[in-house]
């Protein structure tokens, strides 16, 4: 039987080799939505490669008390801090912008959608199909997490597919009872999309698009890159924030501060 160290690498490779996973590497920084800072880009590249992240070498323990690893696994799964929520919100807004661009009428995290207010899907699309409202829930899963690690080493997209199942189990019955449609939009941390997210993305691309003169391929290329950049940039920011929270004196800027007390500055050498 493979141990965790042996299964983490194949799981990462499967997740990072999805057709959507590398879209951020081809994105030209023509707008904020498609841009990284140098530090964000480098961390995203190191995560993809499974390499050590130099920032993290200076940290033994996380602010939650756990031992921290140099490959970013703990930083990306730690429950302390707001990084995962920020990442979720960034991806949610990218999907929302995509939907608005093809004239869907949407609301966001509507309260009291269901009797149980802990169940609050992220996006509602009013004019989806035959006058029925489509509810969407955005989610990111780390494929190296214990509950999905072994499956992820054996098959592509196993973690995302498992999260699809979990989300459907949580929302579908309630949505159906009220006459709504429900679909999850799941990404794995290394970039692979769930089968449902891919199907819906393709479906959205069939809508008339003024921005791309109804060129479906151009629409898909642009939004695939936006979603990919959004995910990978936020992964990097989670790690940068974690480092900053444990070592407040560290500078994440590639340019050392010239004023006041010397600051520790990250070096890529």
Residue ranges binding Zn ion (CB under 5 A): 62, 64, 66, 78
What is the DSSP secondary structure assignment for residue 207, as one 8-state letter? S
Q: Which is nearer to Zn ion, 62 or 153 (CB)?
A: 62
Alpha-carbon distances of 74 from 2, 77, 111, 247, rounded to whole Å: 20, 5, 32, 16
Q: Which is nearer to Zn ion, 85 or 213 (CB)?
A: 85
Contact assessment for residue 139 and residue 111, using Cβ atoms and an 8 Å cutoff: no
Q: Which is nearer to Zn ion, 25 or 64 (CB)?
A: 64
**Minimal distance, residue 82 CB to Zn ion, in Å:** 13
**Minimal distance, residue 242 CB to Zn ion, in Å:** 7
How is residue 174 written in tokens? 């309630």
**Which residues are 108's β-sheet partners?**
123
Length of the chain: 269
Q: Which is nearer to Zn ion, 37 or 245 (CB)?
A: 245
Instruction: Report which secondary-structure segment, H or E, holds 98.
Output: helix 83-101
> Distance between CA 108 and CA 124 in Å, rounded?
6
Q: Is 106 helix (H, G, I), strand (E, B) or coil?
A: strand
Q: Count H helices, E strands: the chain?
A: 9, 6
Q: Which is nearer to Zn ion, 45 or 64 (CB)?
A: 64
**Minimal distance, residue 80 CB to Zn ion, in Å:** 5
**Minimal distance, residue 68 CB to Zn ion, in Å:** 7
**Minimal distance, residue 74 CB to Zn ion, in Å:** 6
């Amino acid at each position: 039987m493979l141990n965790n160290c042996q299964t983490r690498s194949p799981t990462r490779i499967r997740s990072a080799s999805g057709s959507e996973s590398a879209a951020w590497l081809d994105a030209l920084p023509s707008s904020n939505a498609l841009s990284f800072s140098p530090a964000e880009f480098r961390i995203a590249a190191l995560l993809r490669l499974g390499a050590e992240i130099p920032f993290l070498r200076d940290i033994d323990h996380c602010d939650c008390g756990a031992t921290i690893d140099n490959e970013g696994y703990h930083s990306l799964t730690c429950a302390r801090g707001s990084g995962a929520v920020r990442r979720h919100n960034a991806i949610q807004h990218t999907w929302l912008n995509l939907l608005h661009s093809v004239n869907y009428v949407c609301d966001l995290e509507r309260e009291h959608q269901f009797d149980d207010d802990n169940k609050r899907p992220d996006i509602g699309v009013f004019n989806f199909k035959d006058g029925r409202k489509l509810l969407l829930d955005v989610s990111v899963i780390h494929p190296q997490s214990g509950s999905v690690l072994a499956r992820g080493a054996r098959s592509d997209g196993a973690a995302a597919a498992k999260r699809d199942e979990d989300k459907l189990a949580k929302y579908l019955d309630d949505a159906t009872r009220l006459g709504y449609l429900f679909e999850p939009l799941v990404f794995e941390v290394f970039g692979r999309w769930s089968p449902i997210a891919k199907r819906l993305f393709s479906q959205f691309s069939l809508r008339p698009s003024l921005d791309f003169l109804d060129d479906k391929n151009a629409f898909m290329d642009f939004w695939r890159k936006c979603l990919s950049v959004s995910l990978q940039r936020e992964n990097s920011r989670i790690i940068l924030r974690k480092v900053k929270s444990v070592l407040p004196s560290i500078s994440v800027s590639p340019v050392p501060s010239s004023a006041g007390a010397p600051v520790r500055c990250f070096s890529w050498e």
